[in-house]
Amino acid sequence: MSIELESFRTKVRAFAESEIAPHAAKIDRDDEFPADMWKKIGDAKLMGITIPKAYGGEELSYFHHVIAVEELSRASGSAGFAYAANSNICIDNLYKHANEEQRKKYLPKLISGEHVGALAMSEPDAGSDVIGSMSCFAEKKGNNWVANGTKRWITNGPYANTLIVYMRTAAKETGSKSITAFIIEKGMPGFTQGTKKDKLGMRGAGNCELYFENCEIPDSQVLGEVNQGVKLLMNGLDSERLILCGGPLGIMQAALDVVIPYCQEREQFGQAIGNFQMVQAKIAEMYTRMEASRAMVYRLGANFKDHPNRNRDAAAACLFSSESSTSVSLDAIQLLGGRGYMNEEIPGRLLRDSKIYEIGGGTNEIRKMIIARDLLSRKK
């Protein structure tokens, strides 16, 4: 890793340790992300990492973005997750597909942290088969679109000011050419943000349903081209999977941050438990999973734009790092024994935060399909 990237990591780590880590337990316990934290992240120049400076961004790489998510997640899995949903899944996608007027209108406030962003794709009956099963529908009427339907599991949904929302805009039979992306603003007539859902993990990263009841959306709010939303969706998934890999990396590091000092200090049978080979074996396995995951993610991040197999390898990196994070978190609980099972201790939170990475952004089962189909499609 370059000196510049290491310097960037040091900067983000210092911010995370001073501004986020002290609040991590409270965020999880109260299921509430501090409202002023968005502005602090914006002031730290972390919200628009991949966005040009003309819009308030930093013009850095996706690799930088991975490191930012990793370090924030090391301090708080929930903070890293909410941050990624805003900075990559909303802001980066908006920049890539918005016209100049839309960029100037929305990006500066999102990047400064004054506004919060979200992306809405999933629905009550549309998860892994979101394109085929999407029922949220927008019908063109004059210069507006009239939208009806419900979106579900939307991270940052309860308090988002700007949302990218995918809706069906043509007959289902037209397949991939029946979806359009819209930029939705908080407070639009007919648009309601539901109450926050009580989740297993990533508490504080608010999640809710979005309701559209004859919501009139001006034609100017179309993101990209009409009925070409699937192209936008697929274009953003690879970078989303890469960036989200930073979450498991940070959680695994947080697990080792807890486990190693504990095993050095905790004594049983007259000596530190770190002297016992079974404990050492578990620590070695945790470290190896973390470093193997980090190697996969960093290799992809270092050459993401020109990577010849980034769709397959982004899925593979997400698959391996997410499963590793769950495994490492379970090992952390085991090594702390009875203490590890207490909600007041850190490992339980790490486990609960880890699990979403095996589900969100496409389940691990879908990722396995992507990997296998790519390999099997190659000529002998």
Q: Is the dihedral of CA 182, 185, 187, 192 positive or negative?
A: positive
Run of H or E residues at 311: helix 310-336
> What's the CA gap between 154 and 258, in Å, rounded?
31
Spot the catalytic one: 123, 209, 240, 345. 240
Identify the DSSP state of 227: T
Largest CA distance in the chain: 80
Upper half-sphere CA count for residue 217 (Cβ side, 13 Å) = 29
User: Is residue 240 annotated as a catalytic residue, yes or no?
Assistant: yes
Report how far residue 365's alpha carbon sits from residue 125's, in angstroms, rounded to the nearest whole number.
18
Distances, alpha carbon 321 to alpha carbons 70, 87, 244, 247, 291, in Å: 12, 21, 10, 9, 10
| Contact in structure between 33 and 26 (CB atoms under 8 Å) | no
Residue 41, amino acid:
I
By annotation, the residues acting in catalysis are 240
